[in-house]
Amino acid sequence: MIIEDDPRLRRGLELALSRLGYAVGAAGTGEEGLLRLQESKPDLVVLDVILPGIDGFEVCRRIRAAGTTPVIMLTARGDDFDVVAGLEAGADDYVVKPARPSVLDARIRAVLRRMPGADGDVREFGELRIDTSGLTVALRGGQVPLTPTEMRLLLTISRAPGRVFSRQQLLEQVWEHDYLGDSRLVDNCVQRLRAKIEADAANPVYVQTVRGFGYRFGPV
Amino acid sequence: MTARLAWPRGLRARSVWPRGSRGRRAWPRGLRARLLVAFVLVTVFGAAAAAWSSARSASTALAAGAERQFVETVTNQITANAAGLTYPPGQSTLDQLASAVGADTTVTYQNLRSTTGPDSDLITDAIRAAVQHGDSLFVQRIAAQGRPWLIVGTPVVITSTTGTRTPSGIQVYAVRDLTSVQRQIHSLTRSEAITTGLALPLAVLLALVAAGSVLRPVRRLRDTARRLSAGDLDARAVPRGADELADLTVTLNEMAESVQTSMAAMRRMQDDARRFAADASHELRTPLSTLTAVMEVLAAASQEMDGDARESAQLAIAETHRLVQLAEDLMEVSRFDAGTARLRTEDVEVGGAVRDCLRTRAWTDQVELSAPGEIWSRCDRRRLDVIVANLVGNALRHGAPPVRVSVSGAPEQVWIEVTDSGPGLPEQVLPHVFDRFYKADEARSRAPGSGLGLAIALENTLLHGGELTAGNASGGGARFVVRLPRGREDT
Amino acid sequence: MRRARWAMVAALAVVLALVAGCGVTPTGVRAAGQAPGGVAPGPTLYFVDSDRHLQPQVRPTEQLGTIAEALSLLLAGPPADADLHSEIWGVGTVQVTVTMAPGVIRLMAPLASTDVTAFGIEQIVCTALGVDVQRGGARSTKVQIVFTQPTPESDTLRTCPLISPAG
């Protein structure tokens, strides 16, 4: 679904994405988008930052609170504030305007691709249980709802516990970005993931920071 | 922008007080010392002059008093005794008169002479001559035997009953030692000198106080000027009193006021420009986004078009991409002008970043890259990409292949050198090569650029604290060198 | 600096002047008032000649002497050989008391106003005044003769026509 206030751009994106094979719905305001979200349950939301009424960040925050629907933000280049605020609101990725449909397509695919584990095994680390075929995560027996990006990040680093992944590597493997990716995507996603699976997000056990290099899983 | 609005460098660097070596001699340089010396000199000179003049008038009065007293004594003695003297006198009469007048007295009458002291040798010929030919009393001060003396010489006259005065022929000379008067004068002088000397510390004290009272407002002014030159435009000095310094203070405040006003106006204009750039960027971005979104649809559709329609569609697509690029470049430049461009630094392997830059733009087979080893630097990956892309793009458009890029490092710096094999930059182009929209050889360029690429590369380099220079390689091609500082502290 | 040098020169000049200005300096010969007088071959006495004119006559005593001495000589009478006479009668050798007051010579002679004529009074006045002038007194000094019996004449301040300035 596309939430974009400018009708021509909304229609343009709709046309381009439809042509690429997506079933596209569109909304002109954040309120309308949130309403439509409940009815149509889209796989992914492309969200403009600047909207009349409630802005893109607030919409993103509400989507995140409601479930695990991935969000890609449309931001203005160089507007770092938009990027940071969007990521903190829980966006999975962002695309700088003017966005080529091909670029947007690649990001959408990357976000939606859940990359099931090669062997479909079940990994258990302490109280954390990751089912790589069913793509579910349980903590102390309870299911933890993860967005596709969070899931993919967790799957990526838990495949080799103890190994250090640089932000750049994670960008390329999880977000499928080229070398110009924004490492803040990684940091924000890690924080959201920690909030969900760590007992104490300030002293993480599973996703640990290796200062100056990146992140590693465990050791538990 | 802030750097451009700051005070001229010279003004900031130069101290308010000249510390330079202006005077060749040991003339005091500080205002305080100069005031001190001048004040002390004036005070001491004044005191000395006053002391001198009072000592002089006092000594004159002392000497005159002593003289008058002596003359009076002699006159009175003569007058008191004259009526009782035998006339014409004999030797005994002269003796009588001489002893009446006192010690060191000589009385003569024609060839007769009577002396009561040993110092009658001191009587000068000048006073003798004066007494001989006059009918009044004469005095003369002389210095003899290392002492001052007073000589009084007078004829004794005969007064007729009608008051007519005729010399009687009797002459009286008296000599008096003035050493005691001299001593009195000397002690007076000494006490005056001591007084003058005592004025000295007082003068120094007063001078310090005066200098302080003069320098305090000066120091306040200096502090204010310093704060102003450091950029604190709210700094003001409170004028006190109604002297020239107060005038200066008022003038300084007015100057600060006008500077502040114009700075505020400038800042307002700057804000307006920034807002305009932001508004323009948003307004441009939306239609451009729409164009970008549908252009691929159009591109796919144009495959099925024929002839002119297809070419027109492709031209529209190409020009749209160019328009997007131009708008992006314009916005980038306006962000630099507005001062909103920020660095987002991370550790970057420069050689790899350059390679990636060439690879994503499919320039790898047109460009020779030499990047020996890993060179890590702390910089903004995206901006580094922009710099290299613009320089290489420029070389590909305006120069001739092969284009060479070499990366080299030193402990503190990283150099990226982009050289082409074209004819190089003409002499008259060099100063303008980084100017916006400056195109030296529009006709010969193979592909059009925005005209902002090099300006953006330069701004990005400067944002890193580096420098970008343009020149010609020894082989003849144009040569651009980027120097970036390396290894900034982790933040 | 040039200014500093000038200041030094000025300071030196002031100090020199200061030093030079102190002490007793030699001078040339200067007049310092009237020469004293008072010597004379003798006092001048006034007698009346045959034409009834007052005549001065120097009595060569080899010294001027006092007013009282001169008056004693006057009262003693003129020398015998001269063609002069005195118009003071009834006295021989007597002592006259002389008192000096500012501007006035007061004489107390043992005389009654009837003992003298107007000429006699002038003789006394002129002789006293003449000696006073010769001794350095002023010619404008008045003379008062106090007689033995009370009379307004005693209060008169008199002048000598031959000595006192006119008017």
Q: Mean pLDDT, consecutive 10-residue segments, chain A of 220 residues?
A: 87 88 88 87 87 86 85 76 80 83 87 66 81 81 83 85 85 78 83 84 83 79
Q: Does C38 contact chain B (CB < 8 Å)?
A: yes
Which CATH number covers residue A196?
1.10.10.10
Identify whether the C-beta of residue A74 lies closer than 8 Å to the C-beta of residue A4: yes
The span from the CA of C128 to the CA of C112, in Å, is 18
- Residues A94 and A195 placed together within one structural domain of the fold: no
Q: How many CB atoms lie within 10 A of CB B390?
A: 23
Contact A93, A185 (CB under 8 A): yes
Write phi, then psi, for A52 (nearest 5 degrees). -70, 155
Identify the bridge partners of residue C99 per DSSP, sorted by sequence position.
C106
- Residue A21 structural domain: 2-112
CB-based contact C31 B75, cutoff 8 Å: no
Domain span including residue C120: 44-158
Which residues of A are less than 8 Å from B324 in CB distance? 98
Partner chains of A (3+ C-beta pairs under 8 Å): B
Touching, B vs C (3+ Cβ pairs under 8 A): yes
Stretch among B30-39, B61-70, B229-238 having the lowest mean pLDDT:
B30-39
SS3 label, residue C33 = strand
pLDDT bracket for residue B8 (50, 70, 90): very low
Q: Which two tokens stand for residue B149?
A: 């003396």
Residue A117 lies in a domain: no
- Residues from chain B that touch A16, judged by Cβ atoms under 8 A, are 293-294, 296-297
Closest-CA residue of chain A to B380: A180
Looking at the fold, whether A71 and A108 belong to one and the same domain comes out as yes
| pLDDT value, residue B27 | 54
Residue B416: predicted pLDDT? 92
Is 50 exceeded by the pLDDT of residue B108?
yes
- Residue C15 belongs to a domain: no
- Say yes or no: A203 and A136 in one domain: yes
Q: Dump pLDDT digits (tens) for B136-188.
A: 899 998 888 888 889 999 998 888 888 888 888 899 999 888 888 888 888 88
Reported as a single tens digit per residue, the pLDDT across C8-28 is 777 666 666 555 555 677 888
Of the three residues A58, A79, A112, the one that is the final residue of a domain is A112
Calculate mean pLDDT across residues B37-42.
Answer: 81
Question: Are B293 and A16 within 8 A, CB to CB?
Answer: yes
- Integer-rounded Cα radius of gyration of chain B: 53
**Which of B234, B237, B232, B233 lies closest to B220 in space, CA to CA?**
B237
Q: Which of B17-31, B204-218, B363-377 has the highest mean pLDDT?
A: B363-377
| Percentage of chain B lying above the pLDDT 90 cut | 6
Å from A175 to nearest chain B CA? 17
Is residue C167 included in any domain, yes or no? no
Chain B contact present for C26, CB below 8 A: yes
Nearest-Cα residue of chain B relative to residue C136: B159
Only one residue has tokens 């899983």, namely A217
Indicate the pairing of strand B105-109 with strand B112-115.
antiparallel
Which residue stretches of B83-178 are H helix? 91-101, 125-133
Question: Could you tell me if B82 lies within 8 Å of chain C, comparing CB atoms?
Answer: yes
B453/C47 Cα distance (integer angstroms):
146
State the average pLDDT over residues B304-313: 85
Of the residues A85, A112, A139, the one at which a domain ends = A112
Please answer whether residues A57 and A81 qualify as being in contact, where contact means their C-beta atoms are separated by less than 8 angstroms.
Answer: no
Q: B23 contacts in C (CB within 8 Å)?
A: 1
Question: What domains does chain B contain, in order, with CATH numbers?
Answer: 28-223 (no CATH), 245-337 (1.10.287), 343-485 (3.30.565.10)
How many cross-chain Cβ pairs, B to C, lie less than 8 Å apart?
A: 176
Mean pLDDT (chain B) is 81
Given an 8 Å threshold on Cβ–Cβ distance, is B158 in contact with C37?
yes
Q: Give the pLDDT score at B481.
A: 92
Residue B18 has pLDDT above 50, yes or no: no
The tens digit of pLDDT for each residue in B460-471 reads: 999 888 889 888
Contact between chains at A77 and B328 (C-beta distance less than 8 A): yes
CB contact under 8 A, C22 and B55: yes
Contact status, residue C134 vs residue C37, Cβ threshold 8 Å: yes
Query: Any idea which of B329-338, B351-360, B396-405 has the lowest mean pLDDT?
Result: B329-338
- Same domain for A80 and A131, yes or no, is no
For residues A142 and A166, state if they share a domain: yes
Residue C7, phi then psi, degrees to nearest 5: -60, -40
3-state secondary structure chain A: CEECCCHHHHHHHHHHHHHCCCCCCEECCHHHHHHHHHHHCCCCEEEECCCCCCCHHHHHHHHHHHCCCCEEEEEECCCHHHHHHHHHCCCCEEEEECCCHHHHHHHHHHHHCCCCCCCCCEEEECCEEEECCCCEEEECCEEECCCHHHHHHHHHHHCCCCCEEEHHHHHHHHHCCCCCCCCHHHHHHHHHHHHHHCCCCCCCCCEEEECCCEEEECCC
Question: How many Å lie between the alpha carbon of C149 and the closest alpha carbon of chain B?
Answer: 31
| Encoded tokens for B272 | 């307006």
Query: Least CA distance to B78: which residue of chain C?
Result: C36
Task: Average the pLDDT over B336-341 and give the result.
Answer: 76
Low-confidence spans in chain C with pLDDT less than 70:
1-4, 7, 11-23, 90-93, 167
Of B152, B81, B105, nearest to C37 by C-alpha is B81
Does residue A103 sit in the same domain as residue A48?
yes
Residues of B in contact with C9 (CB under 8 A): none
* Residue B374: pLDDT over 80: yes
Strands (E), B178-305: none
Distance (Å) from the C-alpha of residue C151 to the closest C-alpha of chain B?
30
Between the CA atoms of A16, A19, A24 and A29, what dihedral angle is there, to the nearest 10 degrees?
Answer: 20
Partners of residue A13 in chain B, C-beta under 8 Å: 293
Q: Among C25, C26, C64, whose Cβ lies nearest the Cβ of B83?
A: C64
pLDDT tens digit sequence for C46-60: 988 888 888 888 888
Give the other-Cβ count within 10 Å of C12's Cβ: 10
* Number of domains within chain A: 2
User: Is the pLDDT score of B372 beyond 60?
Assistant: yes
Domains of chain C: total: 1
The CA distance from B198 to B47, in Å, is 10
Residue C10 lies in a domain: no
B177 and B131 in contact (C-beta within 8 Å)?
no
Residues of C in contact with B24 (CB under 8 A): 1
Report if residue C29 sits inside a domain. no
What six digits make up the tokens of B52?
A: 């001198």
Is C18 inside any structural domain?
Answer: no
pLDDT tens digits, B239-288: 777 788 788 888 888 888 898 899 899 989 878 877 776 677 667 877 88
